[in-house]
Structure 1
């Protein structure tokens, strides 16, 4: 049990303790001195007094602190009140309406200018008012000018949606043509400061400037319309005339008194000259129907003829405000020029047709002459071989009768001369066969070793006589070809290499090249200059070189080229002067061509191509390849025009003024546009044409490009049968 009540004040507790201490002192002084209990009580009283004094000092310090805290609180309250008065004075001096809402959207304070223009609402704006109620009161104010078609509830809902944005600024129209700009700013604790600024003067000034600008623009538009070479008129949504220029009346023949502000479009259309005929596009009723359309109008364009000699083009277009603008242009000169151009084009087409017929007659005559030449060469070759053979027999019979070495030498030279003549005649006979249409090949699967081994045994003797080494690389591949002509091709290449090589060696080998076997004949001869590499395949063409002691016939490579072209075996050449040459023949490997390839006897000429009179453009930058493909297609009756790159192809077509029936284009044409680019440029001028792209590039991108362009893709080495099928398809399309 405590002697002091804790609820008493410190002064009262101190007073009680003093009374208790005094009572104890009296008790000690007047009590029994011999009593030990009394002394003990005295000691306790003394200890208690000590504690009371300590507690009293603590209480006194606590009271001092309390008095100091109360003084600081009083000073803080004074400062707060002063700050509030200063803040109120400050916001009151602001020229704008100011209001502060707390994070709960409750009004904390505002100045007298806030909502001053809403006099029926300002007296209700007191602290504690929710933001929603504030917006509702504003929306119902008689001083708020609501937009047309806007209700108070809709305005309040839209205002509350804007309040959710982080940055808010908009203009509010008041009655009597006044404007307020309202902006909201967020405070750090999530509250909102609303500012209202009177922008009436700014809006009115902006309106005046806008009106001035409109007037200026109107004058500029009017000046522009007056200087246009076209007639222009503008109508509003009710088809009433708003603006026009003088050129309009001149072109349409409408008197000036009829062109006035507010004139009806339909009246103007009815008043057009009777001799004005709607010739292209729509008629007079359709024009009026277009103008009556309620809503967006599609642009219209048509032509009318006035007076029989004047052609006017009329163009109409709708405007955003549902009005429309009409422009009238005099196109009489253009139409007259177009008519003359059309007539001239017909004359030119007639001349081109006549020239084409003349060319066709000349081409037919040339083909007949070529066929007659081939038949003559074949017949003459057969007829000449007989007396030459007889002469050789006579000379052989005289050899036994010669007694002197001089006579024997003469007979030997005569026999050699006759043998040379016989070889020339046989070569001419071979060329005439290859140029003719009746030749067929026995194409079948052939083991390469059966063709190459006999040639090695045969040519080793010729090489040894010249002191050359003939190397042969064995091959176990099976190819598709005519064995007799393939042997003749390789034989001529080997003989040519040995003839023009003075020292070193000649190499015959085979390499795999995708789905084909590439037969290569290498030599260490003098080489062939790049400028001469295309001419060596011409008949009776020999390079003037001292590398060969044997003049030769100049027909071996011509036969090789024609045979390769007819068989579809691409022929290639690499050569470097001073280092040697390499002739290459690509032959398809048997069994890799797929089930559609016929390895039995076949006709090399596609059916129907010769009868179609086809003209094909061949663009190939490799001279040997170009000549081989050209000879092959010409043997089928195709008229081939050749070019080596895109530029020369365009020049050729421009000079000839013809459109080819088919295009055969190499993909890689060296520097400049590719075959695909050339195809696109030709199609832009002449329209879509059947096309085959030839390339050694087997990438999927090139195949996809050709597929997208709907052109045929052919790999190198070129498959003659695939080329024939392409040309045959073109021939059927022409018929």
Structure 2
């Protein structure tokens, strides 16, 4: 790991610009000396002619760096040689008057070491010593000041040596930090997968219980379980969203998305949570398509809606769209208690929560709005908040660009499809999941929805040929992945069977591994309503293609 060399193109360019600035400053200093010390005017005049030549060569070097970016060791060494030769010439001609130019020797030496690493620091130190020894040998002034020469030589050795020690310590610290971050990433990735599984299976079992013939008291207990599980899932997703963004793993993928379908889908997925909060979610959106990453935009609106359900319980919430500045804006309005003006500047900070005296214990850790602002910056959008105490709060996501796409992406369309209670009757499903609890919960739920399920904990060895749909976990151990299962079953049946992948890993990585944009990739913990709407959409596609 080389300190300061991660982007040689940037460091070389910045070094070239600094070279021009320093040479300009040197020109100003020499002019000042020329005007105040006429006894050295002849030598100074030579230097005044030399500096413009040096600056011209520096400009040529900068142009070459711009045209041919990258790490080029020979070019770096030649630039260093240019610097030291020029400094030595000026100090030789200027004598005592240009002794302060020695500071440029330290700048070049330390600058190259910090920017390019220990190897270049050693080369620069050697060049600096050669320059000083040459001056001590050939300059009349330096020969008359031997102790000054010895002092500068010692300084030229000591300062880079100390800098090298600091660079080594910094490098070790960076390596330790990198190792710690890798360990943290591995832990969070594994913890993410291991925690998603039980949350996911509990949600499916709860949905199975809800569909049973329960007494009112039992249904209330199921509601309480489901509500608590929903809170845990929301918190879990917020922490993982922040972790994913911190790791630089989020890359927007814009596509044409219908605003009305996306917002209606989000409202539908939050219908149960809205019922618990006593909130009526109203959606008013045109059938307009915008160019945006549907997953990231869904996360933003989901977080806004979750905040409205928490802080405006018992009041209606409006999710709407309007034209704003040549584009479209999504706005979420609530009629909650509002936010005091002194809090508005801080609500988008991580872990910041608006708490009042005798507040109810509102769930969450204060990451929702921070995630929204990060995702907005990532996609070039703006987020604006207005609030009045006692009147409510509105938050707008602005900057959405309208497009005229004829159709939306298959995944977006699947996500937003509405459901009908018995639309899945007779759907033949091959279910593959290596976690026995999740396999049992999913199979039970699918059968309650009317599906005919063939369940397997791994890639099927036989059977599973006469099916309409594949639902598979992505990570099935060392033997195969969900993508392998889909390919196998398609080859076995001799037709392009629709499929759904459910995963506890990063959706982006799994989608790339699957390599098929028509296969929806759903993230655990998965809300049963989202799974059902996806299956209904796929079954409708089967009916239309028949």
Q: TM exceeds 0.5? A: no
User: Of Structure 1 and Structure 2, which has the larger fraction of its residues in strand?
Assistant: 1
Normalised to the residue count of structure 1, the TM-score between the two structures is 0.31
Larger RCO, structure (CA 8 Å, separation 6 or more)? 2
